[in-house]
Each structure stands twice: as C-alpha cells, then as structure tokens.
Chain A
C-alpha cells in the first residue's frame, strides 16, 4: 500500500495523558500536513512540515501541541495533557512538494479523551 499511513487508527486517552499520532507520507512525498476534524465541521489546518522543518504552524494551539517530521521515520503530532475538547479525528496529508501541492490524505486517527 503506497498511500499515506496513520497509526493508531483509534486512540483512547484519559484527561491529562499524552497522545502521540503518527503519519507516514506517501513514497516520494516530503511534505506533511496535519488537520483536525470535528463532527459537523470541516477540516481545520494545524501544521505544515517538511523534513526536519516546521513550515507553518499557524493553525496549531501554542500550548500542549507539537509536531515534528524527522529526517528518518514518520511525522509525529504530540498532544500533551489532553482534555476532552481534544477529542476529534486527526488527519495527515502528504504532497510531493516542488510545484505540486496536491494533498493526499491518510485514514485518520480518532482520538477520544475520557
């Protein structure tokens, strides 16, 4: 499967715990985007990364949220001290970069905070 991969698909955390969401982009893609989707709402941009660089994090809350895309391995979205309002579907998308910005999405991680 050469598509965007995300894991875990479902994640349950208690309030105050940490959540780590992983995203492996499509083969040959060096750009990764993270989005959050709440019921009845559209996709909300969080952060845009290239390998080892955060390009745009304007949509990501300043506190508790962080993202990285290391030289080797998947991109990680980390949420510290989760609260019930963090419960949502988190999607990762990748694009090849260069002159192409078409984004291809993964299946998402559904985070439930209890």
Chain B
C-alpha cells in the first residue's frame, strides 16, 4: 500500500460545478497537508497548506483534513475552465520531506 493514495482521474465537470478532490494516507504521523496545482508542462504551484485537522478556506478553495479517517479533501467552488490542471496532494511529518500523491487530472468544460 502506498503511503499516499490519489485517484488519477481524469475528473470532468461542467463549469460552475463544485469539485471535490481527495487523498487518503496510511501514515498517522503526517501533520502538515498541502495541495498543489500543476498546469501542463509547468511546475507545481502551492495552493493550500494546513496543519492538523480542520478546514481552511481561501477564496473558492477549501482544504479539509480528517486525521481520524486519514483523509484530506480540496473543494473548488464555482469551478472555471482555468481550473483545469492536475492537483497534487502532499503531506509530511515535522521537518521530513513531503510525500506526494500522483495527482488528479481535473477538466472543467465550458
């Protein structure tokens, strides 16, 4: 079993939909949880960074962490075609190197 599992998709939604992207993990020591967005042939861009359980909101994006279930989510409200990208989850414990999921490809069609 991989430490971090993420469905590669693709996930295709119409413009304006609420998107839910998810990752599960097996290492209960993970404390920090990140979401990155990666456009085709570009570097990953840090979107959200959370510590421990709970929710964090930034504009149309909400990151949610449920440590009891070892499950994290990224919600995108009012999705736009420009949100079409690959979304990578990442997590780490303390100062250790983060472990990345393989990414979910999202397509938002007009």
Contacts and interface: CB of A to CB of B under 8 A. Distances in A.
Chains A and B bind each other: yes
Interface of A: 4, 6, 33, 40-45, 48, 56, 59, 91, 101-108, 110
Interface string B88-99: 101010010111
B97 A45 contact: yes
Interface in B57-110: 88, 90, 92, 95, 97-103
Contacts of B17: none
Contact of B43 (A33, A56, A105): A105
B8 interface: yes
B71 to A, nearest CB: 18
A6 B41 CA distance: 13
Nearest to A100: B49
A78 B102 CA distance: 25
A108 B103 contact: no
23 contacts: A4-B43, A6-B43, A40-B102, A42-B4, A42-B100, A42-B101, A42-B102, A43-B100, A44-B100, A45-B98, A48-B97, A91-B43, A91-B44, A101-B32, A101-B92, A101-B95, A102-B49, A103-B98, A104-B46, A105-B44, A107-B42, A108-B41, A108-B42
